[in-house]
Amino acid sequence: MTQETVLANATLVLPGETVTGAVRFRGAEILDVSTGPGVPAGAVDCGGDYVAPGLVELHTDNLERHIQPRPFVDWPHNAAILAHDAELAGTGITTVFDAMRVGSIPKGKGRYLKYARQLATELWALRAEDALKISHFLHLRAEVCSQTLVEEMEEFGEADRVGLVSLMDHTPGQRQFRDISKLEDYMKGKQGLSDAEFAEHVAQLKALRDQHGDHHEAEAVKAAERYGAVLASHDDTTAEQVAVSHGYGIRLAEFPTTREAAQACHESGIAVMMGAPNLIRGGSHSGNVAAKELAEAGLLDILSSDYVPAALLMAAVQLGEMWGDMARGIATVTRNPARAVHLEDRGEIVAGRRADVIRFALSGGVPAVRAVWSRGERVA
């Protein structure tokens, strides 16, 4: 028989409120929610720990980090995927949109090589074997400053669970790298470029943008529609760029770099996603707008762990304390991201939703994950 789980005497994070109560689930479905401190026979006494929906992660570079743990080191992919999956489960993430770049620059010192199609095939093979702990979708990061974007996107179809496509424009001197010195520090540190090689790299990117940028953007928009995926902008900086995003039908903005852009997004009905590390660190490592500033202004809707999976829950709790509303803070990593990508079956502790559930306590103000269930099965 399918096992039934009851988590009782918990601080339940429900839509719009936190209450003391219990949640009961069997198989992959939440059966019911009740209030009060009682602990029925056979239930788990949570002792006041928080019980919240499983976290929904829309943008993480974590899989790429496992695939290439050091520059020029290609780790065995199956091992990397399984380690990535387990790490996310351990931090409370039960749904992830694995970010994979499409669009490559095959030649030059600052080259970007193709990898997404092979990696996605390996990911889905493991999923078919039921080897993964949590729910995976694809987030294709469409790099417009590239040579091969169109052909790489043509390799994906409806069967690939592409849920999100983001328009990535890393042309030096605008968006994330308006300050080219930040790009210089990054590329010299990661790729070991000399001054001459960096100058050549900048010139190459600008030439690719001039030659292919508009066409690549248009084709990425078409591909997202073909996949049935949500389309997102990335690093919008000005109101004019937000207007272009709105014209494409974009309803999700990843990491706007200025308050001006975030304000324009809200006025256009575009949800704003910011990086959890930005919030925790107190600012952007690229020198862009601080997530805290946007949160205080009511301009932050969704958090992403970006490059630190454990940051997602930590930052959501920090927002909950900042706003004086833990349910609102947790919603930025559960209900809000789920709704942004049209996943109506998860993100809330509500009867009938997926039994993606986490239990955590606060230790010195930092969330400590005690247990994680994905589709009703204990995975961490």
Instruction: Give the tens place of pLDDT for each residue, 90-114.
Output: 999 999 999 999 988 777 655 678 9
Q: How confident is the model at residue 11, as a pLDDT? A: 98
Q: What is the DSSP letter of 287?
A: S
Residue 123's region, left for phi above 0, alpha for psi from -120 to 50, else beta, is alpha
Q: How confident is the model at residue 194, as a pLDDT? A: 72
The answer to whether 174 touches 145, Cβ cutoff 8 Å, is: no
C-alpha 243/C-alpha 261 separation (Å) is: 10
Mean pLDDT of the chain: 91
Q: 32, 6, 12, 13: which is closest to 353 by C-alpha?
A: 32
Q: 231, 228, 172, 236: which is closest to 199 by C-alpha?
A: 172
Q: Has this prediction a pTM greater than 0.85?
A: yes
Mean pLDDT of 35-44: 96
C-alpha atoms less than 13 angstroms from C-alpha of 181 in its C-beta half-sphere: 1
Q: What is the DSSP letter of 194?
A: -
Q: Which of 104-113, 144-153, 196-205, 303-312 has the highest mean pLDDT?
A: 303-312
Which tokens go with 305? Answer: 């762990």
- Which parts of 5-73 fold into alpha helices (H)? 62-67
Residue 130's region, left for phi above 0, alpha for psi from -120 to 50, else beta, is left
120 to each of 9, 53, 162, 342, how far by Cα in Å? 41, 27, 10, 21
Rg, C-alpha atoms of the chain: 21
Q: What is the DSSP letter of 346?
A: S
Beta strand pairing call for 302-304 and 366-374: unpaired
Domains of the chain in sequence order: 1-53+346-380 (2.30.40.10), 55-344 (3.20.20.140)
Does residue 77 carry a pLDDT above 90?
Answer: yes
Percent of the chain with pLDDT over 90: 78
Of 181 and 32, which is predicted with more confidence?
Answer: 32
Which of 67-71, 111-115, 226-230, 294-298 is least confident? Answer: 111-115
- Which residues make Cβ contacts (< 8 Å) with residue 253, sequence separation at least 6? 232, 233, 234, 236, 242, 245, 261, 262, 265, 270, 271, 272, 273
Q: Supply the DSSP string of 151-186, one letter for each residue.
A: HHHTT--GGG-EEEEEEE---TTSGGGSSHHHHHHH
Distance of CA 114 to the CA centre of its chain: 21
271 SS3 class? strand
SS (H, E, C) 71-85: CCCCCCHHHHHHHHH
- What phi and psi values does residue 162 have, to the nearest 5 degrees? -75, 110
Q: 332, 256, 329, 311: which is closest to 289 by C-alpha?
A: 256
Distance between the two ends of the chain, CA-based, in angstroms? 22
Q: Supply the DSSP string of 81-100, one letter for each residue.
A: HHHHHHHHHHTTEEEEEEEE
Q: What length does the chain have?
A: 380
Neighbours of 172 (CB within 10 A): 23
Q: 230 pairs with which residues across the strands?
A: 164
Does residue 204 carry a pLDDT above 80?
Answer: no
